[in-house]
Structure 1
């Protein structure tokens, strides 16, 4: 095969394009390519590439340093692949084919499921269940065996130097690979490879833990850019009954920005489309122009929640798959509506409860997994799968999580979204184990997380958790009805208190509070907060239309002997003017949402008004 050039790549892409940076589909099949024929610097310019066909070549491995941040589908059929670990940089892969590669073994298949955390389709089959078992159940068993070997035969040296630690790590990894056994003989290669990973991770974990304790770095420091400035841009009244401009009674409940399909960004920059719901409609709003791009209406419904996700859609004739951005919405009727906004259609629905739905949330790691909470005091986990070219889909119920009250908000810890779910409910905050390889499929809470405010005043019940969100992988922001403040607490430190003694009786664990943020002293419930992790912001609206914004930097420095920390800025209600009747007074802000870069903030009110705020440069 001759040299691969930019001209050749542009000839082989579909649809035709003039810039490598914009190519999404590329066919390099049957060109007789060897690994050395793939020019990494040139291919790395394909930052929007989603589908790559390399079938029918002579590839033994993928070239070192190749990073394709948007790649979702790769066809390596009929090659000479020997080292599948060279695919490790392609972490966004969801669909992979390796048939007719003589040297790809069962152990290699296992390695791929570990290396590619988003892989769902392998050689044309849905492997989600098997992959989850390998990633979590299998890996946990191996981890325990590695840990047992460490605790019985090894320890860190008293006087730690880099050289001494390197020797201990070398000896430990060597011992693990020879002594830890698991699974049939056909998986010996995989087991040695996997425990090598585990043992290395374990050494690092021990070293970090000891170093931290010696240097007393018990602080939770968040490093972020300086505070931002926000200005009101649009006020919309797009959920009105019968499109009446006099409707100031419809409550708006939930909003969420559309995620980017292109993980490395696209030519249009950050996401600016936000979905809002309330009354009998769901709207998609362009935050820049203030235009309602799409509106979905169900007479007689009252929507309470919505959630975005990305699933795979089969192409016509099953020749491949492409990512598809979908929106789920639900409310009073207990039905989940599935929408494909790009096609401007509602492609399906399914009944999640006989009672109203209160909250929907997709898994950030597996876009086909949906959690629904309802007024029947149950949380259900569903696999909604993907869709084919005719929008056929299949829904499977996976788990039932029992609560004692209505769930209001869900959070999946960013570091472990496949193992735990935290539910904010009318009667407390509860943690659940959601690992699919565990039994039973109907579960009660693992533990209840309590807060100091519970003891504040015996005359009031502060157990309604009506705001919840992660600010980092560890730091959680939450608020309780009538608390008058927002807690920042550590998920990891809180969970570390759980005894994990297999006692079926539920455990209560007090949240490890890092800081307390001043907020409005109101008795109005369900005014939820939101977070923007990339900018270090927590935002919560109040009963007067104001937005309390908190730019969280160094929690330890700001704690000030347990006193509540004031807001960075309180944004006043913009006082929109109603034609012929003067300004509209501030309503209660039920919900807020921010795009990942905090270019826009959207606030929804209980008086049928959605306010779009835009970031401006601070002076």
Structure 2
């Protein structure tokens, strides 16, 4: 939509099926639109960088989450299939690859906003929602008759915001308004079918919601969490988490873990009360959005060497001066409205950052 108020909630760089260097294509979503943007074209030419666009027929739809997967070659298919899952107010859409960008299946997945989607294997997709459930789905290739199958429903008694997964420790993490939840060996949840109980193994309780949540690829022993209004990003030690989870629990209930007990270090974030600011990480780089259009970059090469006191960001990118857009002789960008960056996506080769804002603007940064 051509306005200055639409939230762009999510962005995810397209994986390269061949496994080679990234292609610079990124998917973004906001309102009832999903776009594929060519970051390279946005830097090098005046041609529109939007390579493909999907507009949902429901104008009240609001897409909030994205996740890519590459479906492998099968006996009946000699090519890999690139699939984009998109979460909206209650539906999951499965989108085909860039050449034929369209929704090939829609499913009524939840009864409320789907805030997070996460593939833990090529074909196993977790979804988390405000309807207080996490669901596990099995995804098939676009041209197969059955494209999505519900395997498990987990009832949580919490509004859920983010999902992340540690391959090294084989733990699924989910964050919400009441803290952080953990499941070891989440692939086993495929056999759970339906659970009316909180089936998570452990919980880290917090006084405020946790929105930002990401396992750090460059340091597989760490996960970053952002507790709302805490002015910091907490780096949690996954070794300590597994040690706490392995301790004998005499109570027939999920283990409660104190955040302080498993904290490795703290990274200074921003002041103020800004909910729903999400985290991203790629290789040795952790990134956070925030107010005033700022993007905070943290190097994660040696988090264990950092002090327990709050560490400043290694670099802060300031919001650039931009030329206002006009339509029907009226300016579109509200210069007096503060720029809040909801989330930032990082390309796998670290060449591009794309910032998603609350005012229908994307800012693409290129590594010089």
Match of 2:344 among 581, 592, 605: 592
Deviation at 1:554, TM superposition (A): 2.6
1:11-59 CA distances to partner (integer Å, 9 max, x unpaired)?
xxxxxxxxxxxxxxxxxxxxxxxxxxxxxxxxxxxxxxxxxxxxxxxxx
Separation (CA, whole Å) in 2 of partners of 1:577 and 1:276: 22
1:481 match: 228
Separation (CA, whole Å) in 2 of partners of 1:346 and 1:427: 34
Match of 2:238 among 491, 511, 521: 491
Match of 2:323 among 577, 602, 615: 577
2:150 match: 397
Pairing 1:343–2:100 present: yes
CA contact (8 A) 2:279 2:286 kept: yes
1:270 match: 22
1:603 match: 355
Match of 2:138 among 367, 383, 397: 383
**SS in structure 2 of the partner of residue 322 of structure 1:** coil
2:46 match: none
Runs of 4+ in 1 over 6 A off after TM superposition: none
C-alpha distance 321-387 of structure 1, shift in aligned 2 (>3 A) = farther
Separation (CA, whole Å) in 1 of partners of 2:38 and 2:187: 37
1:517 match: 267
Instruction: Give 1 or 2 for the bigger CA radius of gyration.
Output: 1
**Where does the alignment leave 5 or more consecutive residues of structure 1 unmatched?**
1-239, 455-460
Deviation at 1:262, TM superposition (A): 0.5
CA contact (8 A) 1:312 1:387 kept: no
Separation (CA, whole Å) in 2 of partners of 1:437 and 1:479: 26
**SS in structure 2 of the partner of residue 510 of structure 1:** coil
> Where do 1:172-321 residues align within 5 Å?
240=1, 244=2, 247-263=3-19, 265=20, 269-290=21-42, 291-298=49-56, 299-300=58-59, 301-312=61-72, 318=76, 320-321=77-78
Deviation at 1:258, TM superposition (A): 0.3
Separation (CA, whole Å) in 2 of partners of 1:587 and 1:336: 29
Greater RCO (Cα-Cα under 8 Å, separation 6 or more): 2
2:365 match: 613
Deviation at 1:312, TM superposition (A): 4.1
**Where does the alignment leave 5 or more consecutive residues of structure 2 unmatched?**
43-48
Root-mean-square deviation (Å):
2.1
Q: TM-score, normalised by structure 2?
A: 0.87
Separation (CA, whole Å) in 2 of partners of 1:406 and 1:414: 25
Deviation at 1:438, TM superposition (A): 8.1
**Corresponding pairs, count:** 344
CA contact (8 A) 2:105 2:147 kept: no
C-alpha distance 329-484 of structure 1, shift in aligned 2 (>3 A) = same
2:45 match: none
CA contact (8 A) 1:402 1:445 kept: no
1:506 match: 254
C-alpha distance 553-350 of structure 1, shift in aligned 2 (>3 A) = same
